């Protein structure tokens, strides 16, 4: 495996196992440089969302990065997400167009329903199916969907989601959801894989990291990959963007994988998908 190794989604599209997240990174040169640095250092997947209000800067970073490295748009895998206020058939299609315009792209590789808003997410999914069938987006999926949300969606959907992006880290291992997604060939993807930095001084992770000559962050990201979970750590610092990606030259033992699993407390740092009000 390396930084450009891909997993094959249930529709045959290849998605990199590793990417850059830009949650809460404001528009401006810091963002543009982070995206550009990631591409320069071999990242091929960038994940944003309408609600992050930074799609324009991500687009600029993509254009500058492509020019600098001399690769084509087709070599990248770009994800965005439709926000809750835009869930609905026509609204979601319009939101997709807006995201493309801001990003300055002709298509997205992956478009996600950001949250499972009851009574709205199925109409939004119908819009994603239309965009997909029209060839406007290469893959479609969901974010923050629990097992029951997926079951409800799939009971009526023509096309099943290709990806489910959820909060996933050693304090929230989501084993039941992971098993369900695996069974239905829905690729699980981790947001906040480092628990917003909250795990970096964990003694167990520190001990494991020392054994492999790696950082706790690298150990967590490696654990994601060995669990078959796509991961998109966020950073704006070039040295950290590089360090995060240096996880392909070691392998955690089964015992260490289990020790990390055992850190689970079903603890969320983000909102609960069964109980949110936005």
pLDDT at 147: 98
Domain assignment present for residue 2? The answer is: no
Catalytic residue among 52, 96, 111, 132: 52
Question: Which own/partner contact pairs does 254-262 have at CB distance under 8 Å and 24+ positions apart?
Answer: 256/208, 256/211, 256/219, 257/223, 257/226, 257/227, 259/204, 259/208, 260/170, 260/204, 260/205, 260/208, 260/219, 260/220, 260/223, 261/170, 261/173, 261/175
What is the count of structural domains for the chain?
A: 1
pLDDT in tens, 222-255: 999 999 999 999 999 999 999 999 999 999 999 9
Domain assignment present for residue 148? The answer is: yes
Range of the domain at 221: 14-261
Query: What average pLDDT does the chain have?
Result: 97
Domain assignment present for residue 54? The answer is: yes
pLDDT at 210: 98
Question: Residue 47 maps to which CATH number?
Answer: 3.20.20.100
pLDDT-flagged residues of the chain (< 50): none
Separation CA 126–CA 92 (nearest Å): 9
Domain assignment present for residue 273? The answer is: no
Domain assignment present for residue 133? The answer is: yes
Domain assignment present for residue 42? The answer is: yes
pLDDT at 24: 87
Residue 52 a catalytic site member: yes
Domain assignment present for residue 57? The answer is: yes
Domain assignment present for residue 46? The answer is: yes
Other CB atoms within a 10 A radius of the CB of residue 109 amount to: 23
pLDDT at 142: 98
pTM metric for this prediction: 0.97
């Amino acid at each position: 495996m390396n930084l450009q190794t891909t997993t094959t989604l249930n529709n045959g599209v290849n998605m990199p196992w590793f990417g850059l997240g830009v949650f809460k990174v404001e528009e401006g040169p810091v963002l543009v440089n982070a995206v550009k640095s990631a591409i320069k250092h071999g990242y091929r997947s960038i994940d944003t969302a309408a609600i992050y209000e930074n799609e324009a800067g991500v687009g600029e970073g993509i254009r500058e990065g492509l020019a600098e490295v001399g690769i084509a748009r087709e070599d990248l895998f770009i994800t965005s997400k439709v926000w809750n206020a835009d869930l609905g058939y026509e609204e979601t299609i319009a939101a997709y167009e807006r995201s493309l315009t801001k990003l300055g792209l002709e298509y997205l590789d992956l478009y996600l329903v950001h949250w499972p808003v009851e009574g709205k997410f199925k109409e939004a999914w119908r819009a994603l199916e239309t965009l997909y069938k029209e060839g406007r987006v290469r893959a479609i999926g969901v974010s923050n969907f629990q097992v029951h949300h997926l079951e409800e969606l799939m009971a009526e959907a023509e096309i099943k989601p290709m990806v489910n992006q959820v909060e996933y880290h050693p304090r929230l291992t989501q084993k039941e959801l992971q098993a369900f997604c695996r069974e239905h060939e829905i690729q699980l993807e981790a947001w906040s894989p480092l628990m917003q930095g909250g795990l970096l001084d964990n003694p167990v992770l520190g001990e494991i990291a020392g054994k492999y000559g790696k950082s706790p962050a690298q150990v967590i990201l490696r654990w994601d990959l060995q669990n078959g979970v796509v991961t998109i750590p966020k950073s704006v610092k070039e040295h950290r963007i590089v360090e995060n990606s240096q996880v392909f030259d070691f392998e955690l033992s089964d015992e260490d994988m289990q020790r990390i699993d055992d850190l689970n407390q079903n603890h969320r740092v983000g909102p609960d998908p069964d109980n949110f009000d936005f």
